[in-house]
Amino acid sequence: MTQREKMLSGRLYWADNEELLAARLRARKLTHAYNATGPEEGERRREILRELLGQMGEGTYIEPTFRCDYGSNIRVGRWFYANFDCIILDVAPVTIGDNVLFAPRVGVYTAAHPIDAGVRNEGLEFGKPVTIGDSVWVGANVAINPGVTIGSDVVIGAGSVVTRDIPDHVVAVGSPCRVLRPITQQDRDYWLRLREEYHQNR
């Protein structure tokens, strides 16, 4: 197996080989170009993201600055929005569903290092994929750790550190992040009422 194949399969791999160095340089150049665009250059931003990301759904928008390791291992669905200073370390696949919102300074980290110092000091590392479902709102300064799956219809509170899977239809907060409560019909009724008031008073 190549080092890239080992990386994507979750095995230990050596990152400083020619293929991966070239892939990371490509991502650095593209993110540098993206972050240098002006606010009026929407089409140029979309062009760069289409080249950078493995998959990009309709309506995707990422505020500069944005950083990633490779970009090609990131797949986002429709109407994905990431606010300022998003970081995605995609040494393993990152899959993000439709209608997902990232507040400022969200970090998605698939990259990890061995706990044993001797092995770690040899420069070996590994990654575990991250999956985020549909209709998820991730609050500011959230860290999503390697191997985590977040379900659909979820709110992750600001400052949380997500170290384990989060089920569908919940509010989850904390470090480590835990389910605080389910999202209920009462929640839906409340927000539907406010939406109705908004439309009536436009």
User: Hey, which residues are catalytic here?
Assistant: 113
pLDDT per position as a tens digit, 34-92 = 999 999 999 999 999 999 999 999 999 999 999 999 999 999 999 999 999 999 999 99
Residue ranges of the domains in the chain? 3-200
Q: Rounded to 5 degrees, what are φ and ψ at 102? A: -110, 125
Q: What is the pTM of this model?
A: 0.95
How confident is the prediction for the chain on average, in pLDDT? 97
Mean pLDDT value across residues 101-107: 98
202 confidence band (pLDDT: 50, 70, 90): confident
Q: What pLDDT is attached to residue 72?
A: 98
Q: What pLDDT is attached to residue 103?
A: 98
Q: What pLDDT is attached to residue 166?
A: 98
- The domain 3-200 is placed in CATH, from the list 3.30.450.20, 3.10.129.10, 2.160.10.10, 1.10.10.10, at 2.160.10.10
CA distance 93 to 141: 21
CA distance 173 to 178: 6
Q: Using the predicted structure, report yes or no on whether residue 201 has a pLDDT greater than 90.
A: no
The answer to whether 101 and 137 have CB atoms below 8 angstroms apart is yes
CA-angle at 66, arms to 62 and 71, nearest 5°: 90
